[in-house]
């Protein structure tokens, strides 16, 4: 039987399942609409897709590294209980290795990757949604790699924060892996805004400079003194926000950049990435009083 676009659309409107899933369901049931609905329900696809409107801001971030390459992924779910589910954790772990192997960081392309056991990542996630009963989504991914040096990972609080740090050096000295991991722990705690002065957001610097200058002028200081005050405060700002200039949490007498440079000749931090679970996602705030009022209206 010929499956028309209108049939696919009608099934999609009825079940909330994806277009390709609806087309496949109709094909498997010879165009029988009700049978196609049941086919989708049996596969758990309709159930999973209907959950897509729920806000997913929990879940976990995950860091994976191996020698000179590593990746971060964030997979979101609706509740923090999911992060303790073995099937969910296993999915995230396998996903991270898959992302690291392929170097794919675009979420749409990640969803199209082939899952080790067959099918696609998106299909595996759909099955997981149907099994656990919560909306889930792959939010983002990052991959860091160096030719020589080390890439180390660190996870904090079971995936609430995950970090990657890449250090380049003339050769891949074993000592660098330990240094990179220690720096990754520092990044998790200190949350630097940038690697160094050259890479920091210049709009942010300009705003800070304007605030410092206005504050100094309002205090009645002469112009030449104001410039020195602003310069000093901006330097302090860099020390707080730039990773290489931050005081190292394990030895506050040294800056992070100095620690790395002293570890192996020619070593320096080339990149870092830090994912904090749910950052930037607007979480739904339930109004209990309003909910009770609506129920009794």
Mean pLDDT over residues 252-274, rounded? 97
Q: Does residue 216 carry a pLDDT above 60?
A: yes
The pLDDT of residue 232 is above 90: yes
Q: What is the pLDDT of residue 85?
A: 95
pLDDT (tens digit, 9 = 90+) per residue, 13-36? 777 777 888 889 999 999 998 888
Q: Which two tokens stand for residue 142?
A: 């990052």
pLDDT at position 282 is 64
Helix (H, G, I), strand (E, B) or coil at 242: strand
pTM of the full structure: 0.77
- The conformation of residue 231, written as its DSSP 8-state character, comes to H
Cα→Cα distances 286→59, 140, 289, Å:
19, 26, 9
Backbone angles phi, psi at 146, to 5 degrees: -130, 155
Three-class SS state of 118: coil
**DSSP secondary-structure letter at 29?**
T
Q: Render the burial of 225-259: b for 16+ CB within 10 Å, e for the rest.
A: ebeebbeebbeebbeebbbbbbbbeeeeeebbbeb
For 94-149, what is each residue's pLDDT tens digit? 999 999 999 999 999 999 999 999 999 999 999 999 889 888 999 999 999 999 99
Q: What percent of the chain is modeled with pLDDT above 70?
A: 90
The CATH classification number of 58-198+242-276 equals: 3.30.479.20
Angstrom CA distances, 44 to 12, 49, 112, 118, 125, stand at 14, 9, 19, 17, 11
- Rounded CA gap, 292 and 49, in Å? 28
Residue 146: closest CA among 177, 108, 119: 177
Tell me the pLDDT tens digit for each residue of 165-174: 999 999 877 8
144 forms beta bridges with 70
**CATH hierarchy code of domain 5-53:** 1.10.8.10
How many percent of the chain have pLDDT more than 90?
67
Quick: pLDDT tens for 183-203: 999 999 999 999 999 999 999
Name the residue among 64, 180, 215 with its Cα closest to residue 75. 64
Ramachandran bin of 172, using left for φ above 0, alpha for ψ from -120 to 50, beta for the remaining angles: beta
* Three-class SS state of 159: coil
Question: For residues 23 and 31, what is the distance between their CA atoms, to the nearest angstrom?
Answer: 9
pLDDT tens-digit series, residues 29-63:
999 988 888 888 767 666 555 555 555 689 999 99
* Short-list 153, 110, 106, 130, CA closest to 271: 153
Q: Across 31-160, where does the E strand assignment appear?
A: 58-66, 69-77, 136-145, 149-156
The pLDDT value given to residue 51? 54
Cα–Cα distances (Å) from 84 to 35, 90, 267, in that order, read 36, 10, 38
Nearest to 142 by CA among 164, 109, 125: 164
User: Which residue shows structure tokens 């696919």?
Assistant: 8
């Amino acid at each position: 039987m010929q499956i028309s676009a209108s049939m696919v659309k009608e099934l999609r409107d009825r079940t909330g399942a994806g277009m390709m899933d609806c087309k496949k369901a109709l094909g498997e049931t010879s165009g029988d609409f009700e049978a196609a609905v049941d086919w989708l329900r049996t596969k758990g696809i309709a159930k999973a897709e209907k959950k897509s409107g729920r806000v997913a801001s929990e879940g976990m971030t995950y860091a994976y590294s191996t020698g000179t390459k590593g990746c971060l992924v964030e997979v979101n779910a609706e509740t923090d209980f999911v992060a303790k589910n073995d099937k969910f954790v296993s999915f995230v772990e396998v996903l991270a290795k898959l992302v690291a192997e392929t170097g794919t960081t675009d979420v749409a392309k990640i969803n199209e990757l082939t899952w080790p056991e067959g099918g696609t990542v998106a299909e595996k996630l759909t099955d997981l949604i149907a099994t656990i009963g919560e909306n889930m989504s792959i939010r983002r991914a990052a991959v860091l790699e160096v030719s020589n040096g080390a890439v180390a990972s660190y996870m904090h609080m079971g995936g609430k924060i995950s970090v990657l740090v890449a250090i380049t050096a003339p050769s891949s000295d074993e000592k660098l892996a330990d240094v990179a991991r220690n720096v990754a722990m520092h990044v998790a705690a200190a949350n630097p805004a940038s690697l160094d002065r050259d890479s920091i957001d210049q709009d942010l610097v300009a705003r800070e400079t304007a605030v410092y200058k206005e504050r100094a002028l309002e205090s009645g200081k002469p112009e030449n003194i104001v410039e020195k005050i602003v310069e000093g405060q901006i330097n302090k700002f860099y020390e707080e926000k730039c990773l290489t200039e931050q005081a190292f949490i394990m030895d506050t007498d040294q800056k992070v950049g100095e620690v790395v440079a002293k570890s192996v000749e020619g070593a320096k931090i080339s990149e870092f990435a830090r994912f904090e679970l749910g950052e930037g996602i607007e979480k739904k705030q339930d109004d209990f009083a309003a909910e009770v009022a609506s129920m009794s209206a």
